[in-house]
Amino acid sequence: MLEAASKEAQRLLKSNGKIVILGGTKAVSKEVESHLKKKFTVTRISGSDRTDTSLQIASKVNKAPTELFLTSGSSFADALSVSSYATTKQIPILLNSSKDQLHKDIKEYVKMSKVKTVTIVGGTSVVSDQVKKELQSLGVTVNRIAGKDRIETSIKVAETYYPNATSIAVTNGWKFPDALSGSHFASVTGSPVVLTDGKKLGSQVEAYVKKNKISFYYIYGGTAVMSDTVVK
């Protein structure tokens, strides 16, 4: 698997390209890093936990952001839903580790930065109104984009940031690897990342598609995660 990944990196990267590993050695081992370093320039961005890692990434994405997204660090779906837009606009996505309390390091980051607006992506079951109140107490404007579930939340994100989209990236909302891999491509094509259960497109997604007259679909993943029923 390592050799296959290395060959794919060689195919994709320019001669002066580099690989950035996101996460600590528990997520991507030193063995993987050492193997890649034999052929590529490799940089690792990591923190003590996923919240700290998201903060470290944020510092690389935008040195002086005025806006950021806050999502649950325990559930990946909402972060994936906003990943395309965040990539395009270089808006950091911070992962809050607790449902009911704003992480102290995120609080400090907001205090020390020029952030004026925080958009919470996800409902109160993953990021509570208590977290919203803590953010508001820091003097920032706080918005929330949320639906009744992760699928509807992804549609709300699409409606908010891609009102004139002509293409969408469709992925399984319970299996993160394909959406994570394809988030940059979605950004390049101007496509929102829309979640499904992998078995059918679903009424919520169908309504968005009809309303926006979507003409092109990027399906992320094989039939094991996205059935042919979705494609049809």
Per-residue confidence in pLDDT tens, the chain, 232 aa: 677 777 777 887 877 788 898 999 988 899 989 988 888 889 999 999 999 999 999 999 898 999 999 999 988 899 999 999 999 999 999 999 999 999 999 999 999 998 999 999 999 999 999 999 999 999 999 999 999 999 999 999 999 999 999 999 999 989 888 888 888 899 999 999 999 998 888 888 899 999 989 989 899 988 888 888 877 6
User: Which pLDDT belongs to residue 8?
Assistant: 75
Residues whose CB is less than 8 angstroms from the CB of residue 79 and which lie 6 or more positions away in sequence, other chains included? 69, 71, 72, 93, 95, 121
User: Which pLDDT belongs to residue 46?
Assistant: 92
User: Which pLDDT belongs to residue 194?
Assistant: 94
Distance between CA atoms of residues 118 and 109, nearest Å: 12
